């Protein structure tokens, strides 16, 4: 059997860590390759690590054809759905995969064109696959809420992962993928300029975390040592007056009081009924 390894497909999903690969190899050596490799014609779609281990040790394996694919986008969507269902995938990887799925469906919606069919062999099942792009299937790109549900993440996590993908330096993304930096911390670092991110990354994970702290501290508003007192009106402000000045002010106030009393008397006289 001729099996073709497409390097782009092999790299489409983040590779296993060294520990994960060693664990898989130990399992296959002990129990054999239990899961069949998935092919699209001669192209290997799923099982690149298992295929490599079996080739290395001369172990037998089974294959199965997936005849529902029409385009490479269908293959990508299927791979994304498969990996979203696996428990070993990290939160960051889930977010990346969900965003890739969104981008594929968004591009299909924009193009509004049915992709050309690439028959491999007749499908044995007439049921439409979940990635079907026919007129009867929904091709609308998912909302952020739908992305979050599919990836089992919160809306804020999806937004943070999108920011990391768009703005983070490669060194920062590598730290998140390795689990050395949290999603939220990486999103904070991603707000820095590329030069600042790279400078922090050169100092290792500890320096990246310090950069996160600096950014967060800079956004905190310093509290005033004493609460600001409301400005006092000039008329209410205490004025240091001399004794003669106080006597003059008292005399003026007394005259004003006398004038007011006279005015009140006039008004009361007008209101008194004539008998």
Instruction: Give the tens place of pLDDT for each residue, 227-272.
Output: 555 555 544 445 556 776 777 778 888 888 888 888 887 777 766 5
Element (H, E) at 167: helix 155-167
| 62-66, long-range: CB < 8 A, 24+ apart | 62/33, 62/36, 62/37, 63/1, 63/3, 63/36, 63/37, 63/38, 63/39, 64/36, 64/37, 64/38, 64/39, 65/39, 65/40, 65/41, 65/120, 65/121, 66/38, 66/39, 66/40
- In the DSSP assignment, the letter for residue 35 is S
- In the DSSP assignment, the letter for residue 4 is B
Q: Which burial class, exposed, middle or buried, applies to 267 when counting CB atoms under 10 A from its CB (0-12, 13-18, 19+)?
A: exposed
The answer, yes or no, to whether residue 96 has pLDDT greater than 90, is yes
Question: What is the band of 225 on the pLDDT scale with cuts at 50, 70, 90?
Answer: low
Q: 40 has which bridge partners?
A: 43
Name the phi and psi angles at 39, rounded to 5.
Answer: -120, 155
Do 162 and 99 form a contact (C-beta atoms < 8 A)? yes
Instruction: Give the tens place of pLDDT for each residue, 151-186.
Output: 889 899 999 999 999 999 999 999 998 889 999 999
Q: 46 has which bridge partners?
A: 38
Lowest-pLDDT range of 115-124, 197-206, 219-228: 115-124
Q: How far is CA 121 from the centre of its chain?
A: 40
Proportion of the chain in helix, strand, coil states, percent, rounded to 5 = 55, 5, 40
């Amino acid at each position: 059997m001729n099996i073709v390894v497409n390097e782009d497909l092999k790299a489409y999903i983040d590779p296993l860590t060294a520990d994960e690969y060693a664990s898989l190899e130990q399992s296959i050596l002990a129990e054999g390759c239990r899961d069949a490799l998935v092919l699209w014609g001669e192209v290997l779609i799923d099982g690149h690590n298992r295929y490599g281990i079996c080739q290395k040790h001369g172990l037998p394996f089974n294959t199965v054809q997936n005849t529902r694919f029409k385009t490479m986008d269908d293959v990508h969507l299927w791979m994304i759905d498969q990996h979203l269902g696996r428990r070993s995938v990290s939160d960051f990887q889930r977010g990346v995969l969900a965003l890739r799925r969104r981008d594929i469906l968004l591009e299909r919606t924009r193009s509004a064109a049915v992709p050309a069919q690439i028959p491999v062999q007749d499908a044995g099942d007439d049921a439409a696959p979940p990635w079907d792009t026919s007129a009867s299937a929904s091709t609308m790109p998912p909302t952020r809420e739908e992305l979050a549900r599919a990836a089992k993440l919160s809306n804020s996590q999806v937004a943070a992962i999108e920011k990391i993908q768009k703005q983070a330096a490669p060194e920062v993304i590598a730290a998140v993928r390795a689990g050395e930096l949290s999603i939220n911390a990486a999103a904070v670092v991603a707000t820095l300029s590329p030069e600042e991110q790279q400078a922090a990354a050169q100092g290792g994970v500890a320096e990246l975390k310090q950069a996160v702290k600096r950014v967060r501290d800079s956004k905190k508003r310093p509290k005033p040592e004493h609460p600001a007192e409301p400005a006092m009106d000039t008329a209410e402000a205490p004025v240091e007056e001399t004794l003669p000045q106080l006597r003059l002010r008292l005399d003026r106030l007394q005259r004003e009081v006398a004038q007011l009393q006279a005015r009140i008397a006039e008004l009361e006289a007008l209101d008194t009924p004539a008998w």
